[in-house]
Amino acid sequence: MTYAHAGHAGGAVLDVASVGALTLASTLAVTYAWAALARRREPRGWSGRRAASFLAGCLLLGVALLPALSPYPPGDFRWHMAQHLLIGMVAPLLLVLGAPVTLLLRTLPRHQGRAVGRVLRSRPARLVANPATALTLNVGGLALLYFTPFYEVVEAHTAVHALVHLHFVAAGYLFAWVIAGPDPAPHRPSVPVRLVVLGAAVAFHALISQLLYAGIGVQVPVGEAERRGAGELMYYGGDLAELLLALALLSTWRPRRAPARTPVVAGT
């Protein structure tokens, strides 16, 4: 049984949601590239690697939502899952590694930069930047989508569909930023805590994909082949994306200061 995917006109190259996503992604990319080029002319410059990472993230966001690129028939659940892996896990990590907030702080005039800093250190930011919040927004979003009748609502309304995509990007970005990345994060917990949170995310992700594969409690009205295929994609794809996040944590962490420093200075 195939489920009619009301959001996409069958076989159309572009629909409203993809046009919106393309516009958003290209706006992000152009703004970042403009700011990065301006910083490159300064003595400190701007890392080409960060720029490449951010622009790749934007590109991925844009193309992952194009229905024409789907290897599956229109409305296939496996394509929906591949999109969520790309826009909710891989693209956010690439964006975070591009250090957009650092670029913003260096682009803005000083007093506006201070305002951004104040926002980052504020109480609401502390609440949102909590790893528990980030984890709940990610895992909770998945659970709501696959284990309640919400998926049918999403498929029936283009606007809701677009909002769900936006939620996946935002929640994925928040999680990647809380766990790793070069951007400032005043409330970011210690590396051991972040490793435990990443472990919990891995476990939940594996659990949800296994339940999807087995069809336990799933309320997504698709055929068994589609459901199993999507569960498999989520299982392997999620592993790869989480592994990349774990390595990003390694590449950007700031180890504790050497405890020996003070005694050495005092002693010599």
Closer by beta carbon to other proteins, 159 or else 240: 240
Residues 6+ apart with CB under 8 A from 161: 7, 17, 154, 155
Closer by beta carbon to other proteins, 1 or else 258: 258
Per-residue binding letters, 107-126, with other proteins (x by CB under 8 A): --------------------
Considering only residues 217 through 236, tell me which ones interact with other proteins, judged by CB under 8 A.
232, 235-236
Binding flag, residue 266, other proteins (CB under 8 A): no
Segment near other proteins (CB under 8 A); pick from 25-33, 91-99, 134-142, 240-248: 240-248
Closer by beta carbon to other proteins, 44 or else 257: 257
Binding flag, residue 254, other proteins (CB under 8 A): yes
Q: How far is the CB of 179 from other proteins (least distance, A)?
A: 11
Binding flag, residue 258, other proteins (CB under 8 A): yes
Instruction: Kindly tell me which residue out of 43, 110, 256, 266 binds other proteins, with binding defined by CB under 8 A.
Output: 256
Distances (CA, A) of 245 to 83, 105, 238: 18, 24, 10
CA distance 205 to 224: 20
Binding flag, residue 156, other proteins (CB under 8 A): no
Per-residue binding letters, 27-56, with other proteins (x by CB under 8 A): ------------------------------
Instruction: Kindly tell me which residue out of 166, 206, 211, 244 binds other proteins, with binding defined by CB under 8 A.
Output: 206
Binding flag, residue 244, other proteins (CB under 8 A): no
Q: How far is the CB of 240 from other proteins (least distance, A)?
A: 8
**Number of residues that this document lists for the chain:** 268
- Concatenated DSSP letters for the chain? -PPP-TTS-TT-S--HHHHHHHHHHHHHHHHHHHHHHHHHTSTT---HHHHHHHHHHHHHHHHHT-GGG-SS-TT-HHHHHHHHHIIIIIHHHHHHHT-HHHHHHHHS-HHHHHHHHHHHHSHHHHHHT-HHHHHHHHHHHHHHHHHSTHHHHHHH-HHHHHHHHHHHHHHHHHHHHHHS-SS--TT---HHHHHHHHHHHHHHHHHHHHHHHHTSS------HHHHHHHHHHHHHHHHHHHHHHHHHHHHH--PPPPTTHHHHHHH-
Instruction: Kindly tell me which residue out of 68, 210, 217, 223 binds other proteins, with binding defined by CB under 8 A.
Output: 210
Binding flag, residue 255, other proteins (CB under 8 A): yes
Instruction: Kindly tell me which residue out of 123, 192, 216, 266 binds other proteins, with binding defined by CB under 8 A.
Output: 192
Check: CB of residue 96 under 8 Å from CB of residue 177.
Answer: yes
Binding flag, residue 11, other proteins (CB under 8 A): no
Binding site for other proteins (CB under 8 A): 191-192, 195-196, 198-199, 202-203, 206, 210, 213, 232, 235-236, 239-240, 243, 246-247, 249-251, 253-261, 264
